[in-house]
Amino acid sequence: YVPTSSSIFSLTLRHQSSRVHRYFIRLSYNGTAFCGWQFQTNAPTVQEELNKKMSLLLREEISCVGCGRTDTGVHARKFYAHFDSVKDDLAANEQIIFRLNKILPHGIAIRQIYKMKQENAHARYAAKWRSYEYHISHVKDPFGSDLSWELHEKLNTAAMNRGAKILLAYEDFIAFSKTGGSSKTTLCTVKKAKWHKTETGLFFSITANRFLRNMVRAIVGTLVDVGRGKLVPEDVRRIIKSGKRSQAGMSVPAEGLFLTDIQYPKEFRLD
């Protein structure tokens, strides 16, 4: 048997395609124009845009797996996803990043691409801690109306922080979870929860190993009720113990919520 040039080419392609490389990609996005990260039928999402534009640029089918899911209108300052490629030269390739940013929508920005030594490194399951911020503006802001919740009421931040501190003593947050979620467990470890004042309003920062669907927005709504005087800080404990979503506060608007950080094992060397 004497192989033809076409058969050699075919064998070469099969050999190359079997040698895939795992990459992590760090990006930021403004969620205003998107129905969240996760792919949806007949709705624009960040994942769909990223998969489509990367496949076009790299000339192979790319499927990105995100570090989590964000809801419609929620933003991400730091978001990670992983993907596999037969190409071995994508990491820190400024030209690839530049060209990808040129064809992506304005609301999505690629920051960095990392080639992983760990072939099974998973953007979602390997994440150790996730951090969110929720921003409230006490004044009208023509430049940031989609990036904060405009709320003119003055809130008692000291009482809100006393309520926030109670979160660290509990693990079951089903009372702040949207009903009908697909989570197998409602247990989360919260290691930080605090309100901070700014010149024009305030923001809430929270870090946990995982979050339930709508959890941050429900916690913020509850703590805002504490700041309004509708609840006292100890009511946060009562609400958590009740395990009932109906006992917690409203789910605040999505536009004020930002995913701000994802922490991975040090050996990933992502920063």
**Residue numbers annotated as active site:** 71
CA distance 85 to 58: 9
Considering only CA atoms, which of 218, 212, 227 is closest in space to residue 162?
A: 227
CA distance 137 to 8: 64
CA distance 218 to 251: 5
Considering only CA atoms, which of 208, 250, 228 is closest in space to residue 157?
A: 228
Write 34-42 long-range contacts (CB < 8 A, 24+): 34/72, 34/73, 34/107, 35/72, 36/69, 36/70, 36/71, 36/72, 36/74, 37/66, 37/68, 37/69, 37/70, 37/76, 37/79, 38/66, 38/69
Tokens of 208: 């946990």
Residues 6+ apart with CB under 8 A from 165: 193
Assess contact for 160 and 172: CB atoms under 8 A: no
CA distance 34 to 49: 10
